[in-house]
Amino acid sequence: MTQAIAESTLARAALRKQRSFLHGYIPEAQLEVHPSLDFHTEADETIDPITYEVIRSKLWNLNLDHGDTIRRVSGSSIVIEGHDFNASLTTELGDGVVFGPYAIFFAGCADVVIKWTLEHRSANPGIREGDVFIQDDPWVGTNHQQDTAVLAPVFWDGKLFAWIYNCVHQRELGGSEPGSFVTDTDDCFKEASFMPPIRLVDEGVLRDDILDAWTRRSRLPDLISLEVKSQLAGLNFARQRMRQILDEYGPARVKGAMHRMTENTARTVGRRLERLPDATWRDERYLCGAKTGDFGLYRICLSLIKRGDRLCISNRGTDPSVGSFNVAPGMLRGSVLAALFPLLAYDQYLCGAGFLRQLDWEFEQGSITSASHPAAVSTSVGSMAVLNQAHYLGAKMIAGDPELSSRALAPCAIHTLSTAGLKGLDQYGQPFLDSPLDGIAGGGGAFMDRDGMDHSGPICGVIVPITDIETSERKIPMLYLYRRELPQTGAHGQWRGGATIVAAWIGHKTQAGFASNGGLLQSVTQGLSLNGALPATGGRNWYAADTAVQEWLQDGRIPADPRELREMAPHGGMAPPKSLDIRLMPQDVFEIIPNPGGGFGDPLLRAPELLQTDLREGRLPREQAERYYGVVLDDAGGVDAEATTKRRQALREERLARSRAPREPVDGSVEPGSAETGLLAAVALAETDAGRMQACRHCGKLLATAEGAYRRGCRELEDDMAALSEFHLDPAEQAGQRLVLRRYICPGCALALDAELCRPEDPPYVDLTLA
């Protein structure tokens, strides 16, 4: 249960520190801590169930109140409205037993930050009662420099009992760009400087020298000072509450409850993993938009290797770090954990330590998703790309299991991260820097048995709200023309992805206003759907300068939707990608369409009555209902059942005629439903006279041997992305790259089983390998 502790030599400690600064810190099985630090290890492992649940609930609520304290004191809308932070309570060794329902990816970093501090600060300057450390070093463990952690030890009778930790996105910490998201760089030296754990509070006394050094690098030093103090307020509250719980129940029982929380989560996750076949699920995909002016395609890879009750995560095969969209190893860990929590540990009170106990890691050192220093990491693009990839792959992994499949959902908002913020000088000549957060208000992914939720936000947190229009207009010199739902944006599938919103802004009472358009290139969407559904669009940012909007407003008219906006400003077009200085004055308009949710299942399987509702509610154009879903309506708007059956059969035949023959065809079939071991939602393992075979779950067509690759037994159907809908952009036009949607079609029933976005010349990669 307890991680081993050993004393380190000075030479070995220096070597380990140097290695962590270069390649990122991942704790070894045995921590090396100075012997002067005494740990509290006594635990009552026999506490009764009722007392256990009471203590568990108290620790959970302590941590919720910890987060609420930060929000009450903070002056940042990113924290108050966007909840871009998290808080945690950990064991004496940093194992996080409780995390808050905010940005969950911090859960995979808290333990590494604390363990690094134990290993490299216990000797010098030491760890004592009343101390607080602050840090934002990505290679120690954080998303990017703006995500600042503070951590405080909790002692009992002179022994280290636990840690209190929180991490907050601080709005501005310097660097060459306001806001510290530096897009046009190849290394971290143009980004905000960062610090490994340094003592901020010395035995209860705030060190002004350290606080001054921290805030001095910022363009908004007063705000950053307030943000640091909000984090300290959260720590102080949580530490005081923790002592009250220890007084009431005793340290041994509280520590026993913490251990049991970890054990229960590990056991639950392990049992769920044991339900799955021993296999490797793999995803390979392209990212585009490494930095300003770079429209190259770069490959990121992820494998989930399941054996027994354990899961190994590997990013082997990922391209070397490039441009500004990289992520350090600790954040790869955090992103993967955040992605898998809702799939495998949805009922475990966000106990990161228990989940992490079942995970092993293989890092491709120096790659985009495990970058070595001095790679650029400030944009947060890499961490969100990994989170989306891990969530997609995890959902694919559990989709074949009859019990776990109900938790599988397609990619959600910010799968193709686009960052849009505002900056400049307000009417008083004071600098401003903020974001209305519309970019995270995209749709939720579809489930295996229901549509995705509309504009429900990303999967990276349990609570991810956005700012009210009125609040944004009060705090930022801008006005909204509209924020409304775009009901036709959800990805097509048997179950449709959740719709997104669209919002349009103009500058207002600003001496100099600018919008940014960072993140990934949206034409290379990361919103790949599940089980043969069509992909979600990567969104779209649109811009028009020198419009007639002020004249319209003076005449009492408002361009209140995208159609009216384009009527008013027909000269507008796509906002320049990877640009941070797009003028936004009162005559200029910036429009943002965040990512909608991905779909689940082949569109030809959608129930006609659901399509009738879609059409009635304006969620689907009639032309797309016929083209993708094969539904035919009669003159009264009802479904013509006979014509729909014929149309769907014709579409299946068209797929077979238009697609490429299987690369490795397999003869034979089994009875539909007889293949009981689910590998994917649409592929299962069947017992045949020739041995175990992979088969289509829809029709029983054999696709490959058990050791083979089912994709090579499928037909391949390719389509250009821009042809999918008006919301899908053309990679050739935006990025100069020809990419196609390749769907893997069952040769028996012509239903799509899976899909990828690739170059036409790319061979299929193996996405499933049985052990």
Rounded Cα distance between 458 and 104, Å, is 11
- The structure tokens listed for 92 are 């004496």
Model pLDDT, residue 3: 62
Rounded Cα distance between 627 and 647, Å, is 9
Q: Tell me what the mean pLDDT of segment 591-596 comes to.
A: 97
For the chain, the average pLDDT equals 95
Q: CA torsion sign, 326 to 332 to 336 to 337?
A: negative
State the Cα angle at 70 between 68 and 72, rounded to 5°: 70
Q: Tell me what the mean pLDDT of segment 606-619 comes to.
A: 94
Q: Tell me what the mean pLDDT of segment 248-255 comes to.
A: 98
Long-range pairs, 305-308, Cβ under 8 A, ≥24: 305/280, 306/273, 306/276, 306/277, 306/278, 306/279, 306/280, 306/281, 306/397, 307/278, 307/771, 308/273, 308/274, 308/278
Model pLDDT, residue 672: 87
- The structure tokens listed for 196 are 């490994």
pLDDT exceeds cutoff 90 at 107? no
Give 21-78 pLDDT, tens digit per residue.
Answer: 999 999 988 999 999 999 999 999 999 999 999 999 999 999 999 999 999 999 898 9
Rounded Cα distance between 217 and 591, Å, is 32
Banded model confidence at residue 4, pLDDT cuts 50, 70, 90: low
Give 541-585 pLDDT, tens digit per residue.
Answer: 999 999 999 999 999 999 999 999 999 999 999 999 999 899 999
| Beta-sheet strands, E only, within 272-373 | 279-288, 297-307, 310-314, 359-362
pLDDT exceeds cutoff 80 at 9? no
Give 194-207 pLDDT, tens digit per residue.
Answer: 999 999 999 999 99
Give 408-423 pLDDT, tens digit per residue.
Answer: 999 999 999 988 899 9
Q: Tell me what the mean pLDDT of segment 701-705 comes to.
A: 98
In sequence order, the 6+-apart residues with CB closer than 8 A to the CB of 638 are 612
Q: Tokens 């100069």 belong to which residue?
A: 736
Banded model confidence at residue 465, pLDDT cuts 50, 70, 90: confident
Model pLDDT, residue 1: 41
Which secondary structure element, helix H or strand E, spans residue 582, and what is its range? strand 579-583
Q: How far is CA 726 from its chain centroid?
A: 26
Do residues 389 and 347 make contact, with C-beta atoms less than 8 angstroms apart? no
Give 491-543 pLDDT, tens digit per residue.
Answer: 999 999 999 999 999 999 998 999 999 999 999 999 999 999 999 999 999 99
The candidate with the shortest Cα–Cα distance to 375, out of 317, 419, 332, is 332
Cα-based distances in Å from 249 to 19, 47, 52, 56, 64: 42, 11, 10, 12, 20
Banded model confidence at residue 461, pLDDT cuts 50, 70, 90: confident
The candidate with the shortest Cα–Cα distance to 298, out of 279, 314, 317, is 317
Pairing of strands 279-288, 768-770: antiparallel
- The structure tokens listed for 506 are 């103009």
What phi, psi does 340 have (nearest 5°)?
Answer: -90, -20
Percent of the chain past pLDDT 90, that is, above it, reads 92
Model pLDDT, residue 462: 86
Annotated domain spans of the chain: 11-169+191-268, 278-408, 409-601, 608-770
